[in-house]
Amino acid sequence: MKRSILKSGNALILMFSIWSLPIQAETDMPETQLAVTPKQCVALLQGQTCYVTVELNWQVINKGNYCIYSSQQQDPIQCWDSKRQGEVKREFSAKSNLRFFLRQINTRTNLAKAEVKMAWVHKKKGKPRKSWRMF
């Protein structure tokens, strides 16, 4: 009789600990998020300019004045006043990875980062051919 009570007690403890896992996972979410879509820009040949329309979404816990910056320019892409979240869609052209940063207005500290990586269909070959052939 005691063994069956112990087994059922352990089962209850196991069930309660399993049920509490999703609650813990939700509270472990980061306070500040910056998401970029797409995550990759593809050009035909390595070194060619890649053209992409990027969508950036951000969210924070506390309302405030925030701006999104890119690695291509010093001025902000867009700013928001007294907001917790925002979205912006812009076209970019680049030959190297694009980096985006979320900052509070008038600060240089990055609260969140996101990146669009460059990819190529054909990579450059090591050395160009110096000789040529008739056939």
Q: What is the CATH number of the domain that holds 34?
A: 2.60.40.3170
Residue 20 lies in a domain: no
Residue 131 lies in a domain: no
pLDDT of 27 reads 38
pLDDT, mean of residues 111-135: 78
pLDDT, mean of residues 11-23: 40
Residue 58 lies in a domain: yes
Q: Are 36 and 88 in contact (CB under 8 A)?
A: no
Looking at the whole model, is its pTM more than 0.75?
A: no
Q: Are 88 and 77 in contact (CB under 8 A)?
A: yes
Q: Are 54 and 90 in contact (CB under 8 A)?
A: yes
pLDDT above 50 (res 19) = no
Residue 117 lies in a domain: yes
What 3 state SS string does 22-81 have?
Answer: HHHHHHCCCCCEEEEECCEEEEEECCCCEEEEEEEEEEEEEEEEEEEEECCCCCCCEEEE
What is the pLDDT confidence band of residue 102, given thresholds at 50, 70 and 90? Answer: very high
Residue 49 lies in a domain: yes
Residue 9 lies in a domain: no
| Domains: count for the chain | 1
